[in-house]
Amino acid sequence: MDTLLQSVSGRGVATITFNRPDRANSYDAATLDALCDAFEQYGKDPKVRVIVLRGAGKHFSAGAAIGDSPVKPRLSMGEVCALIDAAPKPTLALVQGACIGGALAVASCCDMIIAGREASFAIPEVRLGFAPGPLIATFVRAMGYRAVRRYLLSGERFSAEEGLRIGLVGKVCETAALEAECGAWIDQCLLGAPGAIARAKQALQRDAAPPAMSADQIRELQAAFEALSSGEEAAEGRRSFKEKRKPNWYPPE
């Protein structure tokens, strides 16, 4: 089964779908490589006008597949996010269910998130014994420094309504209305001239957006992330996750 589905409509809407519904659409290295290939291809294709990112089944994505093969993707998650952020086409993440960790970072790089009312978000890495490395800057750019301080350090889940309040989510609707809201947003974007949209996004990223990390900074933080994620805290975090118990650093009452 393909873990990433792709299609392009006659109107030029490219849809990329995480397709591991039996694993809450958690991604592996092959999925991330395919995601990068898709954004590179659609970003260059003049027939593609809008890119929609979504998940099959009940969830958008639960993030990285814990315990899967240790094979690394072609690009680090920081580089994946930079690629999505730089896409010259309007990008939309359509979120239902869980949107966790690296999946939240990917969604954060889209121009807009439309979320079902029951959707939930989290940056849970510290509960697994490591920090999210270069993705911290991605989260700050999407939802602001104060919100990230809270949700990064606590690892707690937050609702779609909270995501709307802190600026992460652009629209919250009933899950049954997600398709209609997605179609309405796409229609608004198709009214814009493709060249003008590409130039507008370029100007936003260059002149108006909070500063992005340099390639050197991404590599430095990625190296620190990899060192920490192979340490004892991370090992205990993974064990406690699999065993569905609190980690050993959680003090007894």
Q: How many domains does the chain divide into?
A: 1
What domain range includes position 56? 4-176+191-195
- pTM for the predicted model, two decimal places: 0.90
Q: Read off the pLDDT of residues 186-212 as tens digits, 9 standing for 90 and up.
A: 999 999 999 999 999 999 888 777 777
Write the burial class of residue 207 (CB in 10 Å: 0-12 exposed, 13-18 middle, 19+ buried).
exposed
232's tokens: 């004892």
Asked if residue 22 belongs to a domain, the reply is yes
Asked if residue 247 belongs to a domain, the reply is no
Asked if residue 216 belongs to a domain, the reply is no
User: What is the end-to-end Cα distance of the chain in Å, rounded?
Assistant: 46
Helix (H) or strand (E) run with residue 77 in it: helix 77-85
Q: Confidence band (pLDDT; 50, 70, 90) for 238?
A: confident
Asked if residue 232 belongs to a domain, the reply is no
Give the residue-averaged pLDDT of 116-133: 92
Q: For residues 243 and 164, what is the distance between their CA atoms, to the nearest angstrom?
A: 33
Give the residue-averaged pLDDT of 87-101: 97
Beta bridge partners of 6: 16
Helix (H) or strand (E) run with residue 92 in it: strand 91-95
Q: Provide the CATH number for the domain around residue 147.
A: 3.90.226.10
**In sequence order, what are the residues at sequence separation of 6 or more whose Cβ sits closer than 8 angstroms to the Cβ of residue 132?**
101, 102, 105, 123, 125, 139, 152, 225
Asked if residue 205 belongs to a domain, the reply is no
Is pLDDT of 89 > 90?
yes
Asked if residue 95 belongs to a domain, the reply is yes
